[in-house]
Amino acid sequence: MKLIFIFLFLLASFISAQVDIVPTLKHIESGEIEEARSDFRRLNSRYPKDANVKFLDAVLTENGEEALNKYSTVYTKHPESQFADASIYRVFSYYYSLGVYNKAEKHLTQLKENYPNSPYIKAANRTLPSEDFFIQAETVAKKEIPPPVRTVTTKYKYTVQAGAFLNKTNANNLKKKFEAKGIFADTYTKEVGGSLLNIIIVGKFVDKDSAQPILDELKKDYKLNGRVVLLN
């Protein structure tokens, strides 16, 4: 009976054990992306349902919105995963970098409530205004402080934030596609808590309604949900 108990205990431990992806994450940190992708293909073929492998898939996903969905799957379907808190933090960072502060705050609250001992709380612990507050504060600040001299024509007030990419090449490729059509496009990087995203903006518009064709094209041709933002 004792031997049976030990066997069952070991079996349960084996089943609950998660795949070690730390070596692969170190490859990514060192910029060895191809090595990391090779590791992922090998692990995914053997452990396609493992939570850690799913997290690794999200880390290697270059499209920001696709990665967002994969991170969400990790912490919603595998809340006991050792990378569940990291997944919530990545989603928080994504929304924060895009300026969607109400959603960022929601995920930060979730991180604190569900994983109070997470080391990511210290990195993300800050007071976040709501999105509406941020827009109002930004408008007031622009009235009080003269804007710096820019090459942007003053009649254009808005642009479309097309998306955020982990891979700079992907952002630049999208930029070139719009520039080839004679449409203004630009990219810049934003770092939040160690997550570096390449943001791309497309078009210059006098009002928000004028941006609708670009929003439609992004959704139809590139599966991206753009958002109208102030050009400056």
CATH fold for the domain made of 21-124 = 1.25.40
The rounded distance, in Å, linking the Cα atoms of 117 and 31 is: 29
| 54 pLDDT higher than 90 | yes
Whole-prediction pTM value? 0.54
Q: What percent of the chain has pLDDT over 70?
A: 78
Given a contact cutoff of 8 angstroms between Cβ atoms, the answer to whether 127 and 150 are in contact is no
Delimit the CATH 3.30.70.1070 region(s) of the chain.
Answer: 148-230
Average pLDDT of the segment spanning 51-74: 90
Q: State the helix-helix crossing angle for 51-60 and 84-98, rounded to 10 degrees.
A: 20
Q: Which top CATH class is 148-230?
A: alpha beta
Delimit the CATH 1.25.40.10 region(s) of the chain.
Answer: 21-124
Q: What percent of the chain has pLDDT over 90?
A: 31
User: pLDDT tens across 8-42, in order?
Assistant: 333 333 344 578 898 988 888 888 889 989 999 99
pLDDT score recorded for residue 186? 93
pLDDT score recorded for residue 204? 92
Q: How high does pLDDT run on average in the chain?
A: 78
User: pLDDT tens across 76-129, in order?
Assistant: 999 998 899 999 998 888 888 777 777 888 888 899 999 999 888 887 765 444
